[in-house]
């Protein structure tokens, strides 16, 4: 995926592609809940932006309809967000967690649960395989 950030509106469209797989702009628009429906051209613009950013790829054309599919999955997207978040804290997970604690976003109980989970994975490497 290219380095461009994905907006909230674009993420909403990307989420629909993760559910649908290969889809046209019309199919994505029709899959949105009634209260989230926007103009066809708005969805079309968001789809083309996602394609430019490398999050979607054009797979084929049927008549006038272009079909797209996700070029990244949810895990890849989340990992990118986490990297961006860590970058805001100089790459330091400790500074990030400290900030979350200070702002009440996580509690000491949450932190202890994370520690317990990390302790349970002591026999595992970063790749998730046994050492």
User: What is the distance between the alpha carbons of residues 58 and 66, in angstroms, rounded to a whole number?
Assistant: 7
Structure tokens at 17: 């592609």
Residues 99 and 51 in one domain: no
User: What is the distance between the alpha carbons of residues 16 and 38, in angstroms, rounded to a whole number?
Assistant: 14
Residues 16 and 65 in one domain: yes
- The verdict on pTM exceeding 0.85 is no
**Total structural domains within the chain:** 2
User: What is the distance between the alpha carbons of residues 59 and 68, in angstroms, rounded to a whole number?
Assistant: 5
pLDDT band at 121; cut points 50, 70, 90: confident
Domain boundaries, position 105: 90-122
**Residue 61 DSSP SS3:** strand
User: What is the distance between the alpha carbons of residues 76 and 71, in angstroms, rounded to a whole number?
Assistant: 10
The answer as to whether 80 is a domain residue is no
Give me the residue label for tokens 């990297």.
Answer: 83
Query: For residue range 40-83, what is the model confidence (pLDDT) as tens digits?
Result: 999 999 999 999 999 999 999 999 999 999 999 999 999 999 99
């Amino acid at each position: 995926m290219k380095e461009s950030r994905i907006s909230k509106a674009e993420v909403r469209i990307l989420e629909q592609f993760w559910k649908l797989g290969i889809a046209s702009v019309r199919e994505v628009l029709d899959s949105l809940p009634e209260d989230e429906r926007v103009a066809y051209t708005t969805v079309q613009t968001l789809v083309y932006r996602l394609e430019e950013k490398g999050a979607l790829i054009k797979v084929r054309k049927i008549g006038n309809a272009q079909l797209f599919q996700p070029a990244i999955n949810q895990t890849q997207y989340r990992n990118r967000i986490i990297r961006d978040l860590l970058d805001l804290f100089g790459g330091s997970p400790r500074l990030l967690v400290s900030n979350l604690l200070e702002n009440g976003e996580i509690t000491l109980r949450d932190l202890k649960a994370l520690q317990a989970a990390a302790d349970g994975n002591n026999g595992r490497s970063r790749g998730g395989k046994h050492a």
